[in-house]
Amino acid sequence: MSVDTATVRRVARLARIALSDEDAEAMRSELNTILGFVEQLGEVEVSSVEPMTSVTPMAMKSRPDVVTDGGIADDVIANAPASDDHYFVVPKVVE
Amino acid sequence: MTDLTALTIAEARDALRAKTFSARELTDAYLGAIDAANGALNAYVTVTPDKARAMAETSDGRLAKGEAGALEGIPLGIKDLFATEGVHTQACSHVLDKFEPRYESTVTANLWADGAVMLGKLNMDEFAMGSSNESSYYGPVVSPWRAEGSNADLVPGGSSGGSAAAVAARLCAGATATDTGGSIRQPAAFTGTVGIKPTYGRCSRWGIVAFASSLDQAGPIARDVRDAAILLKSMASTDPKDTTSVDLPVPDYEAAVGRSVKGMRIGIPKEYRVEGMPAEIEALWHQGIEWLRDAGAEIVDVSLPHTKYALPAYYIVAPAEASSNLARYDGVRYGLRVPGRDLIEMYENTRAAGFGREVKRRIMIGTYVLSAGYYDAYYLRAQKVRTLIKRDFETVFAEGVDALLTPATPSPAFGIADQEMNADPVKMYLNDVFTVTVNMAGLPGLAVPAGLSASGLPLGLQIIGRPFDEESLFATASVIEKAAGRFEPAKWW
């Protein structure tokens, strides 16, 4: 399977990465090289194989449903590019 | 006084306890070495001299009171992927511009609790994506190794290139690293150092910037096998903050160093004899087999039939997980923000400016293989192939094989800005052809130096073990180390 430039643009939009026309063209060729490489997986007979969900056999751990931390709003927003009164500030999204 | 940076961790530990020198003197020796070398090697992206001296002085206090921890006063370098409180933590990406976490990763917290001293943060491929340390926002790391009769700069491997270069050039006593497809073992092999990726779940992933969560594991890079064992003992733990962290006690790995391999069954997988592999790698492998046979191990030929599919399956699974993990870098909560006309354009501009080329490539591949209509053909199929890869290993271990011996890399280190590697991303990916199977199956793997190439560059062998049997890896590696000796670069920097 190979991708065209329109597909590259659609995927870039899904991935939220702005691409120039030049970048899109270079990316198309690189992605097709990688997709060409992974195509060999088509040779493997997998119809009766379960997909891996956990690399080591382990039961998901549980813990009591209690609050174990919190009260660290200063820490949470400490690295924010823009914040106000413990809120993250973003461009207006509702008119 | 002798050069304190020449000592291994084990030697420095004993000398500190005997009060031969102080932790402060040892730390100052390393800070001096970093000052003199980092301009040429670019191994550190941030040096923390004040913090290092303060930690060393605290260690001296504990040493004086006879309360020394396992790593008391030992100066370490930390890969930039580990969150270190109040200190540069950017996974060597521009998108995490100026990020200084308010928390400490579990692995580094374990090291500090045992008395280790932090020298600074080490260079790496951006988000641990790379095999040459050239994708770092902070520029490539230059290997302390050079080919005989050449002044050309070589790569130290990647993604833990700063860790490997710093250990090989004696800019730290040991370093933390991480391995998703070979990022500990390949740079260790390229620099003549010892690196171990433990079993998935052995080291907590909490506070380590995530790349591919089902594959990522932390481990040490060290000067010798014993030092790697000492470091892993401190790094490993059971951590309630990581649900994939295993509930098993951490063994005394150092006790396994030098343990006899007599009677161990070592498997030699025929599928690791890949087309185009240089004769010197094949010869090194044979030499390793002879050393283990001479030490009393039983050598058996084994087959891992799905080996060749591990790398292509990896290049679906790892980018898929990465595209999901890296969705969080959007210019809202931390790091870089590049404005746009609206929120979506701000996300897109931030990510376009913040991520480097290789990272974008992998996010794009991951987004594509997870997108509607392609999930079954790519991701689901790759996860099924992964089951088969793991089954290959389980079959061999069930037949009584204790560990496997393979080459660590298909070649010695290559040059910085290598044209073939840069022209074709798949060529670069092939560096991990021997190491990536281990991540796909969640097994422990260790790279140990075993010789030099014809051009005088280090070559490593890899030992792969059963889940949570790191001790057998240390025992086997110490046999190879004893036979091969240690390899250090001639100082030119």
CATH number at residue A11: 1.10.20
Nearest by CB to B387, which of A30, A49, A88? A49
Amino acid at B92: C
What is the pLDDT at residue B363?
Answer: 98
pTM here is 0.97
Range of the domain at A36: 5-41
Closest-CA residue in chain A for B374? A1
| pLDDT for the residue B420 | 84
Residue of B100, B361, B387 lying closest to A50 (CB–CB)? B387
Of B330, B344, B388, the CB nearest to A49: B388
Q: What is the pLDDT of residue B107?
A: 98
Contacts of B102 by beta carbon, 8 Å cutoff, 6+ apart: A72, A75, A78, A79, B85, B86
Say whether B132 is catalytic: no
Mean pLDDT confidence for B161-178: 98
List B59, B79, B131, B204, catalytic entry: B79
State the Rg of chain B over Cα: 21
> Distance of CA B390 to CAs A57, B32, B397, Å?
12, 46, 11
Does the beta-carbon distance from B337 to A81 stay under 8 Å? Answer: yes
The amino acid present at B205, given as its one-letter code, is: R
Q: Which residue of A has its CA nearest to B441?
A: A55
DSSP summary character for residue B129: -
What pLDDT digit, counting tens, does each position of B37-50 carry? 999 999 999 999 99
Q: Is the pLDDT of residue B128 over 80?
A: yes
Q: Least CB-CB distance to A38: which of B315, B383, B467? A: B315
Nearest to B211 by CA among B104, B108, B358: B358
Q: Which amino acid is at B266?
A: I
Nearest CA in chain A to B342: A91
Distance CA B443, CA B406 (A): 14
Nearest CB neighbour to B334, from listed A15, A17, A80: A80
Chain A stretch 57-76, residues whose beta carbon is closer than 8 A to a beta carbon of chain B: 58, 60-61, 63, 72, 75
Q: Are strands B265-269 and B403-407 parallel, antiparallel or unpaired?
A: parallel
pLDDT-above-70 percentage for chain A: 99
β-pairing, B298-302 vs B265-269, is: parallel
Q: Confirm whether A48 is domain-assigned.
A: no
Is A91 contained in some domain?
A: no
Is the CB of A15 less than 8 angstroms away from the CB of B351? yes
Contact yes or no for B346 and A90 at CB 8 A:
yes
**For B362, which residue in chain A has the nearest alpha carbon?**
A31
ipTM of the complex: 0.96
pLDDT above 90 (res B74)? yes
- pLDDT score of B136 more than 80: yes
Give contacts of B383 with chain A, Cβ < 8 Å. 51-53
Please confirm, yes or no, whether B19 is among the known catalytic residues.
no
Please name the member of A18, A30, A75 whose beta carbon is closest to the beta carbon of B348.
A18
Of the residues B135, B136, B143, B183, only one is catalytic, namely: B183
Q: Is the Cβ–Cβ distance between B390 and B440 less than 8 Å?
A: yes
Say what angle helices B49-64 and B23-41 make with each other, to 10 degrees.
160
Chain A, window 19-48: residues with a beta carbon less than 8 angstroms from a chain B beta carbon: 19, 27, 30-31, 33-35, 37-42, 44, 46
Average pLDDT, chain B: 97
Q: Which of B59, B132, B136, B159 is catalytic?
A: B159
User: Which residue, B412, B426, B331, B429, is CA-closest to B129?
Assistant: B429
Contacts of B313 in chain A (CB under 8 A): 38, 41
Residue A94 lies in a domain: no
CB-based contact A79 B101, cutoff 8 Å: yes
Q: How many CB atoms lie within 10 A of CB A63?
A: 8
Q: Could you tell me if residue A33 is inside a domain?
A: yes
Average pLDDT of the residues in B402-422:
94
Please answer whether residues B3 and B29 qualify as being in contact, where contact means their C-beta atoms are separated by less than 8 angstroms. Answer: yes
% chain B with pLDDT above 70: 100
A64 found inside a domain:
no
- pLDDT of B1 reads 53
Q: Is residue A14 part of a domain?
A: yes
Residue B138 backbone phi and psi in degrees, to 5? -95, 15
Give the pLDDT confidence score for residue B18 in this predicted structure: 97
Instruction: Give the pLDDT band (50/70/90) at residue B427.
Output: confident
Instruction: For residue B432, give the nearest of B409, B414, B454 by alpha carbon.
Output: B409
Domain count, chain A: 1
Q: Does the pLDDT of residue B162 top 90, yes or no? A: yes
Q: How far is A57 from chain B (nearest CA, A)?
A: 10
Asked if A61 lies within 8 A of B240 by C-beta distance, the reply is: yes
- DSSP annotation of B208: B
**Chain B residues lying within 8 Å of A39, measured CB to CB:** 312
Size of interface A-B (CB pairs under 8 A): 162
> What type of residue sits at position B153?
D
Structure tokens at B344: 């979506």
- What whole-number distance in Å separates Cα of residue B136 and Cα of residue B424? 18
d(CA B171, CA B167): 6
Assess whether B197 carries a catalytic annotation: no
Query: Which parts of chain A sit beneath pLDDT 50?
Result: none
Q: Which of B44, B192, B193, B47 is nearest to B124 (CA)?
A: B44
State whether residue B89 is helix, strand or coil: coil
CB contact under 8 A, B383 and A51: yes
Question: Residue B153: is its pLDDT beyond 70?
Answer: yes
pLDDT in tens, B271-322: 999 888 899 999 999 999 999 999 999 999 999 999 999 999 999 999 999 9
Q: Give me the sign of the Cα torsion angle B39, B43, B45, B50.
A: negative
Residue A37 lies in a domain: yes
Alpha helix segments (H runs only) across B20-173: 23-41, 49-64, 106-113, 161-168
Q: Would residue A9 count as lying in a domain?
A: yes
Contacts of B346 in chain A (CB under 8 A): 90-91
